[in-house]
Amino acid sequence: MIFDGYEWKDYIVRALNDLGFKEFTDVQKAVFSNLKTNKNILAKSKTGSGKTHAFLLPIFQDLDEDDYKIQATIVAPTKELAMQIYKVCQHIASFSDKRINVKLYSGGSDRNREIEKLGNNMPQIVIGTPGKIKDLAIDENVLKIFTSKYFIVDEVDMTFESGFAEDLDLISAVVTNAKMMFFSATVAEKILPYLKKYMTNVEFLDINNTYDNKIEHIWIPIKYKERFDVLLDLMDTMHPYFCIIFANKKETVIELGKKLTQAGYFVGLMHGDLTPRERKKVLQGCKNLDYQYLVATDLAARGIDIEGVTHIINYEIPKDYEFYMHRSGRTGRMHKDGIVYSLYEDLDNEYLDNLAKKGVKPSYFEIKNKELIPYKGRNSRALRAKPTTNYQLEASKYIPKAKKVTPGYKKKRQAMIDDLAERLKKNDQKKRRRNR
């Protein structure tokens, strides 16, 4: 059957219709168009762009339903992401008249039982975390992944960040006869040696060059207020279905969770110190809407697909521009609308200018009387004037931030910066007059 210009098995089209697919996304079209070549695929595409179906549909299209051996191995860096892929895979398989054996292998399962079952029969599609698949396929030699026609690594950059480089290296050495498709939101320098080693004859698909115009970016100045107070003011203006609040450190996430709970909000927390059981409980709480807000770090939230995220708040702006894109990608998924709010200080102006050059078209607002109103401060001549901006930045270097913040500290520090900036400016003016 033909669907959006591509030919698929009947049961695949039935699965797509059941999901309400109308057309394929850019990354899906790019992958499908390169399937007829013998090249491996490295696809760089932002979170929420439809990567899962981009690799699952070709696997099912090429699957021999009557051949009960491993035909595809899919690796994901976290148990949650592996489970999400498994559920999508099960959905497609459920429309087939013939039984398709799909198995999930991740931490927390009964290892001895898995080994015993694999002695009797092999699944046709294997999905799992690197450590688990390496254990069963290499250490125990019971998971025969060497027969795979496809080898997929989803979120390869995150896989390296999570410390699975060695496991991934060992697994890749076993599936060298498979067509490799690696998907990543970024192509970091540290993964290049791995890609060079295994991804020979590769087609690089860079789909992550523009932003979805359905995502609205709103930047809000902190000015002389406390950051948490601005957050509360912002939350008073919002009516989200579900919102993720991002912070840069685990300690900030924990502190924010306590403060927001005391303020009467129901929030979940996601950070690196949570056990798998605790993470699963938090994700189930998100699904059940036990709370409207999830406070999370970047690494903890990467690769987790939470449906219905309507709002993102950057409580702190990430240092890496790419992480801003990852965060934004949690909302506005699959052609739905979303809003990203970012709290910023004057010292963030250069960061925000550079981000705008990457295609993000922001609007500037401030909060007054529990309403968002247009803010013209950042675009005013005073803020754009190079001397003023430079003096402010130069002065801030001499007045470092305190480790412990007391009430009114930010206002006092800003006043000190303003005073020093003015003195620096006057000194420069005197020098210029003397040199005339």
Given this model, what pLDDT does residue 53 score?
Answer: 93
Query: Which pair of structure tokens corresponds to residue 202?
Result: 């590769």
Both ends of the chain: CA-CA distance in Å?
81
Residue 214, classed as helix, strand or coil, is: coil
Nearest to 46 by CA among 283, 206, 162, 213: 206
The full DSSP string for 166-177 is HHHHHHHHH-TT
Nearest to 329 by CA among 102, 56, 51: 51
The tally of CA atoms less than 13 A away on the side-chain side of residue 203 is: 17
The full DSSP string for 62-96 is T--TT--S--EEEE-SSHHHHHHHHHHHHHHHTT-
The amino acid that residue 112 corresponds to is: N
The tally of CA atoms less than 13 A away on the side-chain side of residue 41 is: 30
Given this model, what pLDDT does residue 384 score?
Answer: 43
Rounded distance, CA 313 to CA 301, Å?
13
The amino acid that residue 250 corresponds to is: K
Q: How far is CA 224 from CA 178, 188, 377, in A?
A: 58, 37, 14
Given this model, what pLDDT does residue 213 score?
Answer: 47
Nearest to 170 by CA among 130, 211, 127: 130
Residue 305, classed as helix, strand or coil, is: coil
Given this model, what pLDDT does residue 313 score?
Answer: 95
Reported for 30-37, long-range contacts at CB under 8 A and 24+ positions apart, including other chains, are 30/54, 30/205, 30/207, 31/55, 31/58, 31/181, 31/205, 32/6, 32/57, 32/58, 34/203, 34/205, 37/203
Given this model, what pLDDT does residue 381 score?
Answer: 37
Burial 136-145 (b: 16+ CB within 10 A, else e): bbeeeeebbb
Given this model, what pLDDT does residue 419 score?
Answer: 81
Given this model, what pLDDT does residue 283 score?
Answer: 85
Rounded distance, CA 60 to CA 150, Å?
11
Query: Which pair of structure tokens corresponds to residue 434?
Result: 């003397």
DSSP letter at 377 equals G
Given this model, what pLDDT does residue 382 score?
Answer: 36
Given this model, what pLDDT does residue 230 score?
Answer: 94
Given this model, what pLDDT does residue 28 score?
Answer: 92
| Cα 49 → chain centroid | 11
Q: How far is CA 100 from CA 79, 137, 146, 409, in A?
A: 22, 21, 19, 62
The answer to whether residues 150 and 71 touch, using CB atoms and an 8 Å cutoff, is yes
Please list the rounded mean pLDDT of every run of 10 residues in the chain (436 residues).
Answer: 90 93 89 86 79 94 95 91 91 95 87 88 94 93 95 87 85 92 77 77 74 74 90 89 91 94 91 83 85 84 72 89 78 71 84 76 84 73 42 71 68 80 72 53
The amino acid that residue 97 corresponds to is: D
